[in-house]
Chains A and B, each alone.
Chain A
Amino acid sequence: MIRRPSRRARIGQWVFLLAMLAGAWYLASNAADNLARRHIAFGFGYLANTANFDIPFSLIDFGPDDSYARALLVCVLNTLLVSAMSVVAATLIGLLVGLMRLSSNWLIRNIGLAYIELVRNTPILVQIIFWYVAVLHNLPGPRQSLHLPLGVLLNVRGFYLPVPVMAPWSRAASLLALLLVVASPFVARLTANGKSLGKLALAMPVLAALLFAVGIDHVDAPSLTGFNVTGGVQLPPELAALWAGLSIYSGAFIAEIVRSSVQAVSQGQREAARSMGLKPSLMLFLVVLPQALRMMVPPLTSQYLNVIKSSSLGAAVAYPEIFQIFAGTVLNKSGREIETFAIVMAIFLSINLAVSAAMNAYNRRVMLMTAR
Chain B
Amino acid sequence: MSEAGSINPAAPDAGVTAPARSFERWMGWLRRNLFDSPANSFLTLAAAVFLALVLPAVWNWAVTQADLWGDSKSACGGQGACWVFVRLRLPVFIFGQYPPSEQWRVVVAVSLLIGFAVPALRDGTAHRGLWVALLLTLFPLVAGVLLVGGVPGLPFIDTTLWGGLTLDVVIAFVTMAGSLPLGVLLAYGRRSRLAGIRTVSIAFIELWRGVPLLTVLFMAAVLLPLFLPNGATVDRLVRAMGALVLFNAAYMAEVVRGGLQGVDAEQEEAAQSLGLAWWQTQTLVVLPQAMRIIVPGIINTAVDLFKDTTLVTIVGLSDLLGAVNQSLKDPAWLGLAPEGYAFAAVVFFVCCFAMSAYGRSFERRLARGQGRQP
Contacts and interface: CB of A to CB of B under 8 A. Distances in A.
- A-B complex is real: yes
Contacts of B230: 30, 33-34, 37
B337 A138 contact: yes
Interface in A124-151: 124-127, 129-130, 133-134, 137-138
B227 A31 contact: yes
B222 interface: yes
Contacts of A309: 211-213
A37 B225 CA distance: 14
A5 B196 CA distance: 12
Contacts of A337: 222-223, 226
A137 B337 contact: yes
Interface stretch (A10-18, A56-64, A225-233, A293-301): A10-18
B215 to A, nearest CB: 6
DSSP majority for the B interface?
A: helix
Interface stretch (B117-125, B148-156, B174-182, B306-314): B306-314
A105 interface: yes
Interface in B336-374: 337-338, 340-342, 344-345, 348-349, 352-353, 356
Contact of B345 (A9, A10, A122): A122
Nearest to B213: A309
B215 A312 contact: yes
B214 A312 contact: yes
B228 A133 contact: no
B181 to A, nearest CB: 16
B200 A129 contact: no
A210 interface: no
Interface residues of A, number: 60
A123 B196 contact: no
Nearest to A133: B337
A117 B36 CA distance: 27
Contacts of B219: 341
B226 A1 contact: no
B197 A121 contact: no
Interface stretch (B41-49, B72-80, B90-98, B280-288): B41-49
Contacts of B275: none
A123 B308 contact: yes
Given A17-B196, A125-B313, A30 B229 contact: yes
A316 B314 contact: yes
B227 A327 contact: no
Interface stretch (A212-220, A264-272, A282-290, A348-356): A348-356
Given A121-B353, A123-B308, A16 B214 contact: no
B303 A327 contact: no
Nearest to B45: A107
A126 B337 contact: no
Interface in A191-244: none
Nearest to A131: B341
A359 to B, nearest CB: 14
Contacts of B228: 30
A323 B328 contact: no
Contacts of B223: 337-338, 341
Contact of A129 (B194, B210, B341): B341
B211 A133 contact: no
Contacts of B186: none
A104 B35 CA distance: 10
B160 interface: no
A126 B321 contact: yes
Contacts of A31: 226-227
Interface string A27-51: 1101101110100000000000000
B16 interface: no
8 contacts: A13-B194, A20-B200, A105-B40, A122-B348, A125-B321, A127-B345, A312-B214, A323-B218
Q: Top 8 closest A-B pairs, CB basis?
A: A121-B352, A106-B33, A123-B307, A134-B337, A312-B212, A309-B212, A130-B341, A134-B338
